[in-house]
Amino acid sequence: MTTVLVVHGPNLGTLGRREPELYGTTTLAAINAALVELASSWGWQISVFQSNSEGAIIDAIEQRAGDIDGLLLNPGALAHYGLGLRDALAGLTVPVVEVHLTNIHAREDWRRRSVTAEVSRGLISGFGWRSYVLGLRAMHGMLSDTES
């Protein structure tokens, strides 16, 4: 069975109540449920991990690397300075799709560069919670060799 690890970085556990004018009112639990539902429709499995700690995220990725077929990642602010995370991603042999709720290119200057995107297959940003769904659909296309 195809397994995708979904990793949510710092502060994403507070989705739905943290700055709803920027990040919306959809909770992390609702995003995870939507991903599980979509993945299940393909016969896929989703494994979810969230942490506010870069080290814990790296540990989770390293521990699961041999058991996953792809990584869907919202690194949050780690995208902009998480060099340890970037290096961990560079060592993966599975596709990585980076997602962000907001359009990082339309925000503060420091948010416009993603060190983690440098080692990701692609980056989707600016579509709110739908960025995750679009990212999973992109992953499906890559792993299935289709344009789903």
DSSP secondary-structure letter at 146? S
Q: What's the first-to-final CA gap in the chain, in angstroms?
A: 18
8, 23, 132, 140: the catalytic one is 23
CB-based burial label for 102 (10 Å; 0-12, 13-18, 19+): middle
* 23 assigned to active site: yes
8, 81, 100, 140: the catalytic one is 100
* 8 assigned to active site: no
DSSP secondary-structure letter at 104? G
Q: Which residues are catalytic?
A: 23, 100
